[in-house]
Structure 1
Amino acid sequence: MPLSIVTGRIAPFAAAAALALVLAGCTSGGALITKHTQGYEISDSALKQIRVGQSQDLVTLVLGSPQTTNTFGDQSAYYYIQTKVEETAFGMTMIKSRTVLAVYFDKNKKVVDKAVYSLADGKVVAMETRRTSSFGEDRTFIDQILQSF
């Protein structure tokens, strides 16, 4: 076979390999995947310090401010969320694990229970994409501005 045919077949593979090497060199630390934690870092030692009967202020002192709170009637809850994420050098983010620490309080702001939930405890909720038609006129922001003139 002539040399030009062989180089013509190999050229795309060589270009792809060179591009992969250049992109790999652009990453920080040479790793293509970085792992990090988003949100609250739930430690076992802090979790062991939370016991039934403790005050809401003591929980805040030990764990810090909650990421979200909830109130149902006489009970309330603090939620601390930890998400472990892997991110590729190309910008793709993959959630590897999610842990939610829930601390429940009674009406006297004393701990009545705590629970740790994972991704397996979650439920997928299907979002409805249909729109409810309104009796008024559906106009865009630009339409509203132009109509006012």
Structure 2
Amino acid sequence: MSLRHIRGHLLPLAAAAVIGLTLSGCSGFTSSRTQGYALSESALKQIRPGQSEDLVIAVLGSPQTKGAFGDETAFYYIETKVEETAFGWQTVKQRTVLAIYFDKNRRVTDKAVYGLEDGKLITLETRRTPSFGEDRTFVESIISSF
């Protein structure tokens, strides 16, 4: 076998090895962190139906968001576990939403824990409705005058 023939077979193998080692080394450049509220099982067990809204705030702290549905209200505590690479790419690994529902007397009626799989994706509309007095280009002004 000639030296060129051996080089021809070894070059792709060497390139594959270098790429494989490079990609396997990238896994060390990721970091995991928790965004939002860190939900604990002990705090979750303390919340029971009939408790006051003030007691819930004392145990869990202020909610990240509130919802109102007629006479009933809800507190939402959101925990998101994110993995971020050294290049700034973020991936949501887990999302947990604790919802605590209150009646009109500000007493706990129910609680629920929702995960990432319970969410629904929605598409945002990107079209714009032109408003009165919107700036027009020079060409649009000329065309609209005819």
After superposition, where does 1:13-52 map in structure 2 within 5 Å? 31-52=28-49
Given residue 134 of structure 1, which amino acid in structure 2 is its aligned partner?
S
- Normalised by the size of structure 2, how large is the TM-score? 0.74
| Structure 2 spans left out of the alignment, 5+ residues | 137-146
AA paired with 2:42? Answer: S
**Matches of 2:79 and 2:134, distance apart in 1:** 44
CA apart distance, 1:31? 2.5
**Aligned amino acid, residue 45 of structure 1:** S
Report the number of matched residues: 137
Which deviates more from structure 2 when the two are superposed, residues 106-115 or residues 31-40?
Answer: 31-40
Q: What secondary structure is seen at the aligned counterpart in 2 of 1:45? A: helix
Unaligned runs of 5+ in 1: 140-149
Q: How does 1:1-149 map to 2 (within 5 A)?
A: 31-138=28-135
> 1:35 Cα shift?
1.3
Q: Secondary structure at the match of 1:136?
A: coil
The share of aligned pairs that are identical, in percent, is 62
